[in-house]
Structure 1
Amino acid sequence: MEQPEKWLSVVEIAAHLGISKETVYRWLERGKIPAHKVGKQWKFKVSEVDAWVKNGGASE
């Protein structure tokens, strides 16, 4: 059975993309990056973020 995809934090998704967490927060403010609010924290699915990057979402 396949493991469910893990949710990543801002720091973890920034490391995954090789960017600063400030850039992630800037994208969040602009509503650009696919993210989900869990309580007071933002969480990310790697598959959603990777698809967004591949579709040119991170090029701006």
Structure 2
Amino acid sequence: MTDPILTLPEVAVLLKVAEKTVYTMARNGQIPAFKVRGQWRFKHDDIDGWIDEKKASVKGNLGKGAADV
């Protein structure tokens, strides 16, 4: 069973991006996150849902021209 709470480095590995990218996204509210004693934490279910939303958004924009977006 996966841990329901992920650390910033774990999310970076999951998304295959740099830790600094995840930090910036969390700080700017671009990814669901919360802090525990100053450390960023992420609910695994929230991250999975966020990924699904992003995939749906990309699929919805496929085939649209620049003027359509």
Same fold (TM over 0.5): yes
Total equivalences in the alignment: 56
Q: TM-score, normalised by structure 2?
A: 0.67
Indicate the percent of aligned positions where both proteins have the same amino acid: 34
C-alpha deviation, 1:42, in angstroms? 0.6
Asked if 1:37 corresponds to 2:51, the answer is no
Asked if 1:11 corresponds to 2:9, the answer is yes
Structure 1, unpaired ranges of 5+: none
More relative contact order in 1 or in 2 (CA 8 Å, sep 6+)? Answer: 1
C-alpha deviation, 1:49, in angstroms? 0.7
Q: TM-score, normalised by structure 1?
A: 0.75
The change in CA–CA distance for 1:23 and 1:6 in structure 2 (over 3 A counts) is same
CA RMSD of aligned residues (A): 2.2
Structure 2, unpaired ranges of 5+: 59-69
